[in-house]
Amino acid sequence: MIVRLRVFGVISTRLGGAKADVELPEGAVLRDLLDAIDARWGATLAPDFWEPGTKRFKGSVLLVSEGMDLMDESSPLADEQQVMVLMPVSGG
């Protein structure tokens, strides 16, 4: 199955663009996606935005899909699911 990443702001420069598709096995969960991100981009995201040890994003980077934050690593993912990767900042 394919998970479609939509990447915002500075993170997109590390992932080489605002969009990226990640191929995962059927029945994949959030942890599988994080492992795939680690394998493909872990080195370019670290050390500022990626924790290589835990294979998780660092700081206030969020994964959001269908209006929900993806927090639980056992959350199931669906084919064609869009996952937004962003680092919101308060300002003004």
Partner 1 sequence: MKGYMGKLLRVDLTARQSREEPLDAEAVRDYIGGSGLGVRLAYDEVLPDTDPLGAGAKLIFMTGPVTGTVLGTAGRFQVIYKSPLTGMLCDSSSGGHWGGEFKQTGYDGLILEGVASEPVYLFIHDEEVEIRPAGHLWGMDTFGIQPLLLEEVGEPKGHVLAVGPAGERGVLYSCMVNDAGRAPGRGGNGAVMGSKNVKAIVVRGTRSVELADEGGFRQEALRINKLNATDPRFKDLRELGTPEVMDNSWAVGDIPVKNWSRGSYEEMSVSLGGKKMRDTILVPHVACHYCTIGCSRWVKIDKGPYRMDGPGPEYETLGALGSMCMIDDLEAVSYAAHLCNVYGMDTISCGATIAFAMECYEKGLITTEDTGGIELTWGNKEAMLTVVEQIAFGQGIGKLLGQGTRKVAEQLGHGSMDYAVQVKGLELPMHDPRAYFSWASNYATGPRGGCHLHGMSGFLENRQDPIPEWGLTGYFPRHGDEDKARVTQLAQNWSAILSSMVLCYFATFTLQPSDLASLVNKATGWDLTSEDLSLIGDRIHALYRAYNYRCGIRREDDRLPVRSLVPLAEGGAAGKVPDLERQLREYYELRRWEADGKPSHASLVELGLADVAADLYP
The binding site for partner 1 (CB under 8 A) comprises: 8-10, 13, 48-49, 58-60, 62, 64, 67, 69, 71, 84, 86-92
Distance CA 44, CA 24 (A): 21
CB of 11 to partner 1, least distance (A): 9
Report the distance separating Cα 92 and Cα 69, nearest Å. 24
Q: Closest distance between partner 1 and the C-beta of residue 32, in Å?
A: 21
Phi then psi for residue 33, to 5 deg, are -65, -45
Q: Can you read off the two tokens belonging to residue 89?
A: 């900042």
Which is closer to partner 1, CB of 48 or CB of 79? Answer: 48
CB of 36 to partner 1, least distance (A): 21
